[in-house]
A and B are shown apart, each in its own frame.
Chain A
Amino acid sequence: ETGVTQSPTHLIKTRGQQVTLRCSSQSGHNTVSWYQQALGQGPQFIFQYYREEENGRGNFPPRFSGLQFPNYSSELNVNALELDDSALYLCASSRSGRVSYEQYFGPGTRLTVT
């Protein structure tokens, strides 16, 4: 059983640029949730995709957007990068969008905005 994978591992961008992060869900999972984790903090929910539709969104501006593909992999896009966007971005996959199911996290993408 393949686990959750993310790419790239690290990324350095300049303020104002755009970035795309990718996530492959675990086999048998149809839901991907994205989180932002600042240093020393817990993960903060960005949004969730369930069967290719957005299924909930946290308190993040519209410049954070996403996609889910038919194979349930997902992308997180961030436009007009700001310095505060520097963080570890985690995706987690689960069997369902319901919170009664456990979520399995990928290794994350470390984004640095300069």
Chain B
Amino acid sequence: QQPVQSPQAVILREGEDAVINCSSSKALYSVHWYRQKHGEAPVFLMILLKGGEQKGHEKISASFNEKKQQSSLYLTASQLSYSGTYFCGTAQTGANNLFFGTGTRLTVIP
């Protein structure tokens, strides 16, 4: 039930854009996105719910395709602070736990 993330790693220059994808083989109720820097706790970015509701930071955008069980995180005009590993966590209807992907390592260089 672990979601699959792509790409596994990406390197960007400051100001460039990136898209990180998360897909599941199961019907999903919610998708949660986190960023984790080395040696630190995962930081909540956004949650997307079946039906279209979204909660998260204003500067982060994401989409959730309920038919395809896919979510994408859009990082625009990247900054050095965006570097880290991005995880998606997925949950099915009626579940109370998240399954996390293996992460996407994002590196932003000057």
Interface residues of A (CB under 8 A from B): 4, 33, 35, 40-45, 48, 50, 55-56, 58, 90, 97-108
Contacts and interface: CB of A to CB of B under 8 A. Distances in A.
Contacts of B64: none
Nearest to B42: A105
Contact of B98 (A45, A50, A55): A45
Top 3 A-B pairs, shortest CB-CB distance = A42-B100, A99-B91, A105-B41
Contact of B32 (A4, A50, A58, A103): A103
Interface string B74-88: 000000000000010
Contacts of B49: 100
B42 A99 contact: no
A42 to B, nearest CB: 3
7 contacts: A42-B102, A43-B42, A56-B96, A90-B42, A99-B30, A100-B29, A105-B43
A81 to B, nearest CB: 23
B44 A102 contact: yes
B98 A107 contact: no
Contacts of B98: 33, 43, 45, 99, 103
Instruction: Give the interface residue-count category, chain B.
Output: 20 to 34
A56 B95 contact: yes
A43 B100 contact: yes
B40 interface: yes
Contacts of A44: 100
A56 B29 CA distance: 17
Given A41-B102, A42-B101, A100 B44 contact: no
A55 B44 contact: no
A41 B43 CA distance: 16
Contacts of B97: 33, 45, 48, 56, 58, 99
A107 B41 CA distance: 5
